[in-house]
Amino acid sequence: MTAAPPVQVQGLTKRYGETLAVDGVDLIVRPGEVYGFLGPNGAGKTTTLRILTGLIAPTSGRVEVLGGSPGQAQVLARTGSMIESPAFYPYLSGLDNLRLLAEYAEVPRTRVREVLELVDLAGRAKDRFSTYSLGMKQRLGVAAALLKDPELVILDEPTNGLDPAGMRDMRRLIRELGSEGRTVVLSSHLLGEVQQVCDRVGIINGGRMVAEHDVEELRGQQELVIRARPLE
Ligand code: ATP
């Protein structure tokens, strides 16, 4: 039996006043794949991911996540996301920040240690958040997203602003999430990055999905020509 796609989107549209941020996007993400949205600034990636996590409502279109609507309690319980830069208490340790979140989410405390191991922060768990590098802060954000052991992980530009070492660690982590069988949906504006971490890539520009590729088809390509379409 084939498992149902964790994400199914048809004709997704989002308007902000005059701006058509997402324009008729169709998307199916398969179970266990790492799916990347690739596109330039303003393409509509964040808006699409915010809709998938239930943070904002679409203007129109059909969106099904893990068999339900985004934002439904039973969907949220099985989804982990990092959409904005995660907010943590700077003077608390990474460990204590996660313990607070675990308590709030009614997750057993033992899970905190597990996720810190997963994101390779166990060695710095007792250090204050304010002493972490940006890459470590972002990985703590992923750790928070993993607390509920989610089937679906949604990450908006998880390597944005990171130095090369931070990028390398984050990409390795994302590949691990995929190899654990989780479905991952992420956004990026770097072709090289999606080539490294994704199984499939949707290219989005001007709010429209302009192409979709298995990552194998993109091997060896140095750049993709994305024709800019002015937003309406
Ligand atoms: P970036 O990498 O810069 O975040 P993106 O691909 O994630 O780009 P979005 O943030 O989804 O793109 O933005 C798509 C379009 O919608 C842009 O033109 C943006 O200015 C506009 N937009 C996004 N959020 C809002 C908002 N809250 N109000 C008005 N316009 C918005």
- The confidence score (pLDDT) of residue 220 equals 66
**Inter-helix orientation angle 94-104/134-146, to 10°:** 20
* Ligand 1 close to Cβ of residue 188 (< 6 A): no
Beta strands in 72-118 (DSSP E): 79-82
- What six digits make up the tokens of 69? 């609507």
> pTM score, two decimals?
0.92
What is the distance in A from the centroid of ligand 1 to the CA of 222?
Answer: 26
Q: Cα–Cα distance between 199 and 31 in angstroms, integer?
A: 11
Q: Cα–Cα distance between 145 and 155 in angstroms, integer?
A: 9
- Which tens digits make up the pLDDT trace of 78-104? 999 999 777 899 999 999 999 999 998
- Contacts of 182 by beta carbon, 8 Å cutoff, 6+ apart: 32, 150, 151, 152, 153
CA 51, 157, 198, 228 torsion-angle sign = positive
The closest residue, in CA terms, to atom 31 on ligand 1 is 16
What is the distance in A from the centroid of ligand 1 to the CA of 46?
Answer: 7
- Which tens digits make up the pLDDT trace of 25-41? 999 999 999 999 999 88
* Ligand 1 close to Cβ of residue 21 (< 6 A): yes
* Ligand 1 close to Cβ of residue 56 (< 6 A): no
